[in-house]
Amino acid sequence: MTTNNTFKYFAFISYNSKDTAWGKRLQKKLEHYRMPSTLCSQHGWKRNPVSPVFFAPTDIQPGGLSEELQERLKASQHLIVICSPNSAQSKWVGKEIEFFHSLGRTENIHFFIVEGTPHSGDPETECFNPVIEQLDLPEILGANIHEKIYRWPWLNRERAYVQLVSKLLGVEFDTIWQRHKRQLIRKAVAWTLGILAVLAALIVVWRGNQPFNAETRVQEVSVHNDNLPPLKEAVVTMTLDNETKTDTLKTLDDALVFTNIPHRFLNQPVRLTVTCRDFLAVDTTVSLSRNVTLNLQRDPAVYGDVHFRLFNPDTETFLSNKAIRIDGIETLSDDQGNVSLFIPLASQKTSYQVTADFPLLSDSLHMPCGNDDVILTQ
């Protein structure tokens, strides 16, 4: 069937105002339906042959068909009736069917069922307007979106659209349905893959923006000395903008975890400080990662800087210029009786043996010590 060029509209949609959404949807579907190029060449169609389709903004008002609507119906090659219990009870839809029938185009009346049951006889469910029976129109089943051919309702709706198109154009249903179904499947697969790709991207972005944990360890990089006490209770502080996170490491073998760090700090410079007895304080900036290791060095002054005074309690005087040995290393007291000596880190201990060529009341020195400490002599 080819479109008659004497008609301004390919089809006129008759509907009840309660079915306006279906009317708009059907108009869009029909006007945008693209036929295969081979059929278009064969029949002389344009790629969108079911176009234009007239769809009035509202259904007709009391008083019968207006002259304008009559002219629209005359200018339409086909009449499409959206069938539902709403339109079945509408006398204005009936008037449009009557008028189009009077034009002698009964074979061009088509029914598109969106709700209800054909020939049910129950006003609550009947979808065909009684005018159809009154005019003794040929038995027409109509394209029914609820016909259960496939398990998926959307595919049954698409089948109804194609049924209507095939009747409007006078071509075999299977001629275009099989192609249409393949296109739908390709689109469904493409949409599914697209949605999965978007979801995967969103998951990656979501996971990438989740707070993370930074495991932090410290390691001693100074000369190892088994004579000195191990690290105990290193206080580690992380500064993030105006927020600080603090935790304590018990030993070198432990690790602490700073939790729920905003993702924006990952691989960004942050300030870390470490304070621990016997070790030099650390105040550094690192590129923050999920695993951070900080270097610690012992403070050589704690057990290496020896300071004390030689004191004779009998004479209540400090002994000056006296030779004294600390773990075998000889040194002299100064004019005030002060003894100072630095012992290298590798040789340091927590206490040192003190000897001299004169009597000492104590022969050991416990570290750390300072100028207030004394070694008593006789």
Please classify residue 127 by burial: count the beta carbons closer than 10 Å to its beta carbon, then call 0-12 exposed, 13-18 middle and 19+ buried: buried
Rounded CA separation 59/96 (Å): 10
The CATH fold assigned to 212-298 is Immunoglobulin-like (2.60.40)
Question: With contact defined as beta carbons under 8 Å apart, do 177 and 169 qualify?
Answer: no
Rounded CA separation 206/268 (Å): 19
Q: Which residues of 234-251 are buried (b: 16+ CB within 10 A; e: fewer)?
A: bebebebeeeebeeebee
Which pLDDT score, from 0 to 100, does residue 370 have? 85
pTM for this model (two decimals):
0.55
Q: Most distant CA pair in the chain: distance in Å? A: 143
Q: What are phi and psi of 155, to 5 degrees?
A: -75, -35
Q: Which residues of 62-101 are buried (b: 16+ CB within 10 A; e: fewer)?
A: eeebeeebbebbeebbbbbbbbbbbbbbbebbbbbbebbb
Question: With contact defined as beta carbons under 8 Å apart, do 311 and 362 qualify?
Answer: no
Torsion sign, CA atoms 158, 166, 87, 122: negative
First to last CA, the chain: 133
3-state secondary structure of 327: coil
- Is the CATH number 3.90.550.10 carried by domain 9-171? no
Question: With contact defined as beta carbons under 8 Å apart, do 279 and 297 qualify?
Answer: yes
Query: Which CATH code fits 301-376?
Result: 2.60.40
Please classify residue 323 by burial: count the beta carbons closer than 10 Å to its beta carbon, then call 0-12 exposed, 13-18 middle and 19+ buried: exposed
CATH 3.40.50.10140 in the chain: give the residue spans. 9-171
Over the Cα atoms of the chain, what is R_g? 49
Strand partners, 364: 353
Which pLDDT score, from 0 to 100, does residue 62 have? 46
Question: With contact defined as beta carbons under 8 Å apart, do 252 and 219 qualify?
Answer: yes
> Tens of pLDDT along the chain (378 residues)?
444 568 999 999 999 999 999 999 999 999 998 887 777 777 778 888 898 999 986 544 444 578 888 999 999 999 999 999 999 999 889 999 999 999 999 999 999 999 999 888 898 999 999 999 898 887 667 899 998 888 889 889 999 999 999 999 988 888 888 888 888 888 889 999 999 999 998 888 888 788 999 999 999 999 989 999 999 899 999 999 888 999 999 998 899 999 999 999 999 999 999 999 999 999 999 999 999 999 999 999 999 999 999 999 999 999 999 999 999 999 999 999 999 999 999 999 999 999 999 999 989 999 999 888 999 998
Tally the residues of the chain.
378
3-state secondary structure of 285: strand
Which pLDDT score, from 0 to 100, does residue 214 have? 94
Rounded CA separation 319/300 (Å): 28
